[in-house]
Amino acid sequence: MEKIKVGVLGATGIVGQNYISLLENHPWFEVSYVAASPRSAGKKYSEAVAGRWHINSDIPANVRDLVVGDANNVKEAQGKCKFVFSALELESNLIRDLENEYAKNHIPVVSNASAHRHTPNVPLLIPEINPAHLEIVHAQRYANRSYGFIVVKPNCSLQSYIAPIFALIKAGYPVKKMIITTMQAVSGAGYPGVASFDIIGNVIPFINGEEEKSEKELKKILGRIENGVFVYDESITVSAHCNRVPVLHGHTACISLEFGEKKPGLDEIKKIWTEFRSVPQELNLPFAPSRPIIYREEENRPQPRKDRDADKGMAISVGRLRKCSVLDIKFVTVSHNLIRGAAGGGILNAELLKAKGFFD
């Protein structure tokens, strides 16, 4: 099978680099186009990232010598790739317009950016949770009169706990209330991101916009499409405390939650999590973790440094399930913010799109 040619927008940033690294040897996709700001445009990729290639393995050989395009110029991408991953780092309104531009010019956009997360006809996709939301892509294509469309993924912090929540809901135990405290890694802030002067031996109990994003995005992901319009799930209320901690990669979340009237026992919950499988597993997508949720019985796990890489960084690790004296249960989750929570999550989205025929 010939591989599908893909582009990466924002290819010189930390998430863009992760895309390029993770796509090396991908069975379905191959990076044929990279684009970044005008400052980098025209240089070889290896020159554009000289001194700031952040991945431990070297730049993939097939990307090293690609000439970087100007991400602002959609024309440059045309003919070079079938779709693009967007890891743009610009102001939100600029990203919104630019991604629209690609979509209107027949280039599908699989995006990491927050700009379109609440755009009415854009799905906020996690393949294990709401693959059916892809139906709205047809409406986008029709509205744009274009082959192009936009699909986005949620913020990285949400990724670390949404699968366990969804697994419980799907098993027949609706969740009504959640209080979440995250301890997020510095790589979630991009590069240069958090100054070492601020975070060495410290905790910063604030991440701009993160709590609001977490609280709102969850409702769209768990929502449904009715008459071609998203209906957010207002039956679940989330309150988030987001903190930055001196961890390189891996977001940790401490969660207390309350069910509706039906309340599962602790053992049943562990069983639900351990047995949880969904569409990506059924379709055997290349980046799908074999077990999306890994429950760890050790009393002091999951930990970001030890568990973030589970199943190549695509699985969510959960542990410490116990009763909560205020709500019903409490537990801890960890996921890799740059893999499952960023580039890996984006690739899984693209794989689902491919499997569902959106790139035919």
**Would you name the residues annotated as active-site residues?**
156, 251
Per CB under 8 A, 270 contacts a copy of itself: no
172 binds a copy of itself (CB under 8 A): no
- Binding status of residue 360 toward a copy of itself by CB under 8 A: no
User: Binding a copy of itself by CB under 8 A: which of 142, 224, 231, 239?
Assistant: 239
Is 203 one of the binding residues for a copy of itself (CB under 8 A)? yes
Best CA proximity match to 346, nearest among 111, 187, 122: 111
The residue among 38 and 192 lying less far from a copy of itself, judged by its C-beta, is 192
Instruction: Taking the CA atoms of 186, 191, 192 and 193 in sequence, report the sign of the dihedral they define.
Output: negative
Position 15, amino acid: V
Residues 51-110 that bind a copy of itself (CB under 8 A): 51, 54, 56
Nearest distance, CB of residue 332 and a copy of itself, angstroms: 4
**What's the Cα-to-Cα distance from 314 to each of 8, 168, 256, 307, 336, rounded to whole Å?**
20, 19, 23, 11, 7
d(CA 111, CA 285): 19
Smallest separation, CB 243 to a copy of itself (Å):
7
Query: What whole-number distance in Å separates Cα of residue 11 and Cα of residue 314?
Result: 21
Q: Which of 8, 14, 103, 347 binds a copy of itself (CB under 8 A)?
A: 14
The stretch among 23-31, 154-162, 285-293, 298-306 that binds a copy of itself (CB under 8 A) is 298-306
How far is Cα 257 from Cα 297, in angstroms, rounded to an integer? 20
Name 70's bridge partners: 36
Q: Alpha-carbon distance 83 to 149, whole Å?
A: 9
If binding is defined by CB under 8 A, does position 46 make contact with a copy of itself? no
The reply on whether position 266 binds a copy of itself by CB under 8 A is no
Q: Which of 45, 46, 24, 12 is nearest to 312 (CA)?
A: 24
Q: If 0-12 CB within 10 Å is exposed, 13-18 middle and 19+ buried, where does residue 359 land?
A: middle
Cβ at position 192, least distance to a copy of itself in Å: 4
Q: Verify binding: residue 290, a copy of itself, rule CB under 8 A.
A: no
> CB 333 → a copy of itself: shortest distance, Å?
9
Q: Is 159 in the site for a copy of itself (CB under 8 A)?
A: no
Helix (H, G, I), strand (E, B) or coil at 141: helix
Peptide bond between residue 302 and the one before it cis (omega within 30 degrees of 0):
yes
Cβ neighbours of residue 274 closer than 8 Å, sequence gap 6 or more: 291, 293, 294, 295
Nearer to a copy of itself, 4 or 199 (CB): 199
Q: From CA 358, how far away is CA 109, in angstroms rounded?
A: 12
Q: Judged by CB under 8 A, how many residues of this single chain contact a copy of itself?
A: 61
Give me the 127-156 binding string for a copy of itself, x by CB under 8 A, dash otherwise. Answer: ------------------------------
CA pair distance 31, 188, nearest whole angstrom: 23
- Scanning residues 304 to 323, which ones bind a copy of itself (CB under 8 A)? 304-307, 309, 319-320
- Tokens encoding 69: 């395009």
247 binds a copy of itself (CB under 8 A): yes
User: Residue 171 or 199: which CB sits closer to a copy of itself?
Assistant: 199
CA–CA–CA angle 224, 215, 299 (5° rounding): 105
Shortest distance in whole angstroms from residue 80 CB to a copy of itself:
29
Q: Which stretch binds a copy of itself (CB under 8 A): 112-120, 126-134, 246-254, 272-280?
A: 246-254
Q: How far apart are CA 171 and CA 168, in angstroms?
A: 5
Binding residue for a copy of itself, selected from 252, 278, 335, 337, defined by CB under 8 A: 252
By CB under 8 A, name the binding residues for a copy of itself: 14, 50-51, 54, 56, 177-179, 181, 183, 186-187, 189, 191-206, 215, 237-239, 241, 243, 245-248, 252, 254, 256, 298-307, 309, 319-320, 324-327, 330, 332
